[in-house]
Amino acid sequence: MAFKYSKDHEWARAEDGVVVVGISRHAAEQLGDVVFVELPDVGKTFAQGEEMAVVESVKAASDVYAPISGEVVETNQAIVSEPAKVNEDAQGAAWFVKLKPSDPSELDALMDEAAYKAFVEGEL
């Protein structure tokens, strides 16, 4: 499935019954060099839009919000030990969590690639 995006610059991608979540390339570029990532515990549940993780760069700290509601079934510990991965591959290997969605239809409300691109360009 294709990437879907939130207005808070998180991406979500459905994959084998779970939704993989991370921050967009745009967000990683805006943050600059990421130096710290804090992820939630496996088993924690979040409502859509709830603060889920923290990412810190040399420039700023930023909250990461749940783009959909669900339960954390896996976290990416590689980005905790090597936060720079977020800058290297924000929409690939540097995913943050995998959520078991409580309402998969919430994905439909997120922006597709074209809408997100227009949203980002409108911000500039």
pLDDT band at 124 (very low <50, low <70, confident <90, very high): low
pLDDT tens for 2-28 read 999 999 999 999 999 999 999 999 999
Domains recognised in the chain with CATH numbers? 4-123 (2.40.50.100)
pLDDT at 1: 60
Let me know: does 66 contact 50? Beta carbons within 8 Å: yes
